[in-house]
Amino acid sequence: MTQKLLQMEPQVLEAVKKALEHPFFKAIENRKSLRFPVGGNLEATYFNFQSPREPVPLSEIEEALLVWAATGIVGQIFSDIDPDKFGPLGTLMHWQRRTWPSPCASHGTQLFFSNDEGIWAMKVWDIDPEDLTVGFAAAQTVEEKAEAALEFYHKYRVKISDNRDDLPTGEVTGFWTFNAWNANRPGTTLFIPVSDFTIEYLNILFLFTSPQYRWNIIDELHGGRNCGTDRWLKSGLIKDDVPLPLAATERLVATLIAAEQAFAMQNVSLAAVGMGLGGWLFGGHIPMAVMGGTPQWKGLGFKFVTAEKGDFPLPYPIGREDVLKTLHPYWYNGDIEQIVDAFNEMKWKKYDPSVPKPFKAPDQVMCHVPPPTKDEVRCVKDILRYIWDTYGRFPATVDPCSTAIFYQAQHLELEFYDKFYPAGTYSPLHEKHFELWHPEMKDPFRK
């Protein structure tokens, strides 16, 4: 057990226990937006209110539990698809199971968050193989689960800025005005999921060219012509009976991966209910500003590039080299074909026998999972070459990464809700929160 956990007050461990055992359907029933934080100030016609208390940031265990709910590892996926009947299991990108579902276990969404100490990223994509079978998944007691959440929080947390104000703090050009007064304010923890679409995009292109499908990609924005696949149609590697539009395919992939953001933030919102925290899930922001594509803010510090040709001349984000490095030519010597090689390397190392698998007899299953052939690799490279030469960017019509929704967790200013709302607006867990989770300080709501 970690020293930090051993030093916790008994009532804090009891609070953790209550949170972990909070009824799921009760959390759904009580999930609501509770926007007013301790230390907040709202200048308004009706809801005019200044909190008489100083902001109180989340404790380490509070933040660790929410981070784990958002992006934790809970064990291994089952991969319960018969490789003979439905084809190779080679669409899977990971054997780890996260707290949210992911297409092909590609786990394209990465969690960033800001607090009073700065801005952080949870770098979880390349985890240690042993973490697939230990940690929270193996924990049996409340103490063990709390310890696992803290260890996960510290092991994979990477600080990217000392200043939370690198992110917009409510200005009109960063957040919409109805979120301007309290977003990313002192004492709050703002969770920002960012999705990398390029991993699953490459994965799906290899799926399309596999023997089970052999689907052809056409460019509906240029008369429906083939996307670099003419010779593969002639060879029979792919067929022309199922043409798939390029832009529509890219939108499909982006939608699939962006859904991970909603799953992750819903997890945080339900966890916050069981912990007696306030907060709310919201959008209403400009992704370019949040990721760092405007001169006003450094944001998350993402690199932005601009296409030199095509119909999409605006700068677009391609991630960061240290965290969330998308599969984009900029990071690979400007060579669009190198990202295919990089993808295959990052994917197929997960199939190494040394990486734990969920099966009783992994060898008997994995022998049915062949890597792509040289022709299939060349076909995908030709498709990407067409995209790059035609549009001067990758992907052609969507950004490689983006963020759509946030969740902000905070301690609730009960006096605001007592003044403007009837009894029952907040729960007993909110009312007793400081008593349970912060015994080291005087409860700011007790006279």
Looking at 131-145, 262-276, 299-313, which range is the least confident one?
131-145
Amino acid, single-letter form, for residue 386: Y
Q: Give me 180's structure tokens.
A: 């301007």
- How does pLDDT run across 99-124, given as a tens digit for each residue? 999 999 999 999 999 999 999 999 99
Question: Nearest Cα to 157, choosing from 66, 265, 75?
Answer: 66
Report the C-alpha gap between 38 and 330 in whole angstroms.
44
The pLDDT value recorded for residue 132 is 56
- Tell me if 107 sits within 8 A of 93, measured CB to CB: yes
The pLDDT value recorded for residue 138 is 77
The pLDDT value recorded for residue 83 is 76
N-to-C CA span, the chain: 37
Looking at 106-110, 204-208, 362-366, 401-405, which range is the least confident one?
362-366
Match 């929160």 to its residue by tokens: 433
Distance set, CA 385 to CA 196, 209, 227, 358, 396 (Å): 20, 16, 9, 37, 11
**pTM (2 d.p.):** 0.95
Q: SS3 for 276?
A: coil
The pLDDT value recorded for residue 134 is 59
Question: Nearest Cα to 417, choosing from 38, 30, 29, 45?
Answer: 38
Confidence of residue 332 (pLDDT cuts 50, 70, 90): very high
For residue 294, is it left (φ>0), alpha (ψ between -120 and 50) or beta?
beta
User: Angle at which helices 374-391 and 198-208 pack, to 10 degrees?
Assistant: 130
Domain layout of the chain by residue ranges: 3-437
Identify the sign of the CA torsion 85, 89, 95, 101.
negative
Residue 323 has pLDDT above 90, yes or no: yes
Q: SS3 for 76?
A: strand
Report the C-alpha gap between 447 and 430 in whole angstroms.
17
Residue 37 has pLDDT above 70, yes or no: yes
Confidence of residue 1 (pLDDT cuts 50, 70, 90): very low
Report the C-alpha gap between 320 and 301 in whole angstroms.
7
Residue 132 neighbours by CB distance under 10 Å: 21
- Tell me if 261 sits within 8 A of 404, measured CB to CB: yes
More confident residue, 8 or 79: 79
Residue 3 has pLDDT above 50, yes or no: no
- How does pLDDT run across 386-440, given as a tens digit for each residue? 999 999 999 999 999 999 999 999 999 999 999 999 999 999 999 999 999 999 9
